[in-house]
Amino acid sequence: MAKKTVASLQSGNKEGRSYTKVIKMVKSPKTGAYVFDEQMVLNEKVQDFFKK
């Protein structure tokens, strides 16, 4: 019964599927340690995020 409830909640809204959470490891210029850059980007812009 829980599966039916979850499926009915997701059927109306498709906007959340157009975004992807991307995580990139970047070296900090101040400390030299690595930090993680996390963002929610459009599916079409994922490759552009990693090219920066």
Q: Is the pTM of this model over 0.75?
A: no
Q: Please name the residue ranges forming H helices in 1-52.
A: 2-10, 46-51
pLDDT in tens, 1-52: 565 555 555 555 666 689 999 999 999 999 999 999 999 999 999 999 988 7
Domain ranges of the chain: 18-52
Q: What number of residues does the chain have? A: 52
The residue written with tokens 């490891």 in the block is 25
Alpha-carbon span 50 to 22, nearest angstrom: 9
Beta strands in the chain (DSSP E): 19-27, 34-42
pLDDT of res. 11: 57
Token duo for residue 12: 């109306």
pLDDT of res. 21: 94
